[in-house]
Structure 1
Amino acid sequence: MVDKVILEEAEKLFLKFGMRSVTMDDIAKHLGMSKKTIYAHYKDKNQLVMEMISNTLSKEECNMDLCRVKAKDAIEEIFLTMDFLKEMISSLNPIVFYDLEKYHNEAYKLLMSFHENRIYNCVKACLERGINEKIFRADINPDILATARTAQINWVFQADLVRSGRYSMYNVIHELTTHFLFGICTLSGHVLINNYTNRNNPI
């Protein structure tokens, strides 16, 4: 129970300030406990970061599965996934991904591996679903587009326009997703995009 509380509170600090600027002293002070207690559960900050990323990816995987099951069609699946993403990264400091890559490389590799495998498979399955539902064009290649989409998502995590604070991560992903969707949809798919957009943004 104590280890869970430590991890949850450390995660709040990491996501708000980044990993590099948060020390074990900061975490102990925030929790109102000694560093000795923290070290009894976690050997160092790197382990805390690794646990945080592992837990985040587990939640992300569960939510992707939930979006797929809940959605009436492939386009709604993407809209539901975007809703989940917006909630997940709303309070995220973009410096987190720079810190991950530079100071916690094993955790960063875990994140990238998840994208290149789990997200690729999820995107490919969604594309195949949309083709079968006749809302995505029959002439698209799911393997090529899933690979490109995964690379696109990975690029957002590294993009200077996000890390600099020029645009939020969600705004960039939303813009790219809209462009991606209109490029692969049939005319009936375009109608669904507009319907789901209007549902999410009522006048």
Structure 2
Amino acid sequence: MKEKILVTATEMFLNLGFKSVTMDDLASEMGISKKTIYAHYENKTQLVEESTMRLFWIISNGIDQISALKKNPIEELYDIKKFVMLHLKDEKSSPQYQLQKYYPKIFNTLKQKQFEVMQVCVVDNVRRGIEQGIYRENLNVDFVSRIYFSGVTSIKDYRLFPVQMFPMTVLQDIFLEYHLRGIVTPKGRKVLNSIINSNQE
């Protein structure tokens, strides 16, 4: 039952937002009493924390599996973006912004963990891209990986990027193309253009 509550809560948080979902909503959605939820979770904060960490590990493991395939580094970034967006339900409810506003402690812990995972993944991606001649060889790898992380997290601030102007799926594509065009070689540009063209078909 504990796992079931966690799965349903995660789903609801992603679709409706961390703030909007109450314990009553969750109980009603599952057809159980609030007492049953409290038997497993002390309060909503604990539920939010466990649900964000569960999602974080699912996404991290998925990213590891994609990275292990050692695909073309440009293709790899598109595959990771697709996988993450699928698990975050296209971020319709701006979960990161709500987490930051209402659960700052959980948000900061999560951000640190995300940075550690992405740092390893992006540094490896950039190094392989340089070796394969699709990323410029004069890149500062640590700078590129950090600026990428900074961009990925900043575009989720809907005060800067209002959803009406920038739906999250479109925004992710714009950002990834922007990032890659700054680091690719002419050889890499051909790969990037062919991926963009095939995504538009």
TM-score, scaled relative to structure 1: 0.91
Cα deviations by residue, 1:82-140 (Å, 9 ceiling, x for unpaired): 22133223453334223211221222112211232211221111101100111101011
Of 140-149 and 16-25, the range deviating more from structure 2 = 16-25
Matches within 5 A, 1:55-134: 55-134=54-133
- Distance of aligned partners of 1:83 and 1:91 in 2 relative to their CA distance in 1, 3 Å threshold: closer
Letter in 2 for 1:49: V
- Distance of aligned partners of 1:3 and 1:122 in 2 relative to their CA distance in 1, 3 Å threshold: same
Equivalent residue, structure 2, for 1:172: 171
Contact map agreement 1:135 1:189 (CA 8 A) in 2: yes
Contact map agreement 1:16 1:93 (CA 8 A) in 2: yes
Gaps (5+ residues) in structure 1?
Answer: none
Contact map agreement 1:127 1:142 (CA 8 A) in 2: yes
Letter in 2 for 1:173: Q
Equivalent residue, structure 2, for 1:25: 24
RMSD after superposition? 1.7
Is the aligned partner of 1:40 residue 2:39? yes
Of 62-71 and 119-128, the range deviating more from structure 2 = 62-71
Letter in 1 for 2:18: M
Of 146-155 and 89-98, the range deviating more from structure 2 = 89-98
Cα deviations by residue, 1:23-70 (Å, 9 ceiling, x for unpaired): 111111111111111111111111111111111111111111122122
Contact map agreement 2:90 2:169 (CA 8 A) in 1: no
Q: Secondary structure at the match of 1:171?
A: helix
Kindly tell me the number of residue pairs found equivalent between the two proteins: 201
Equivalent residue, structure 1, for 2:50: 51
Instruction: Write the distance in 2 (CA, Å) between the matches of 1:80 and 1:71.
Output: 12
Of 33-42 and 192-201, the range deviating more from structure 2 = 192-201
Of 28-37 and 84-93, the range deviating more from structure 2 = 84-93
Cα deviations by residue, 1:129-153 (Å, 9 ceiling, x for unpaired): 1001111010111111111111111
Letter in 2 for 1:201: Q
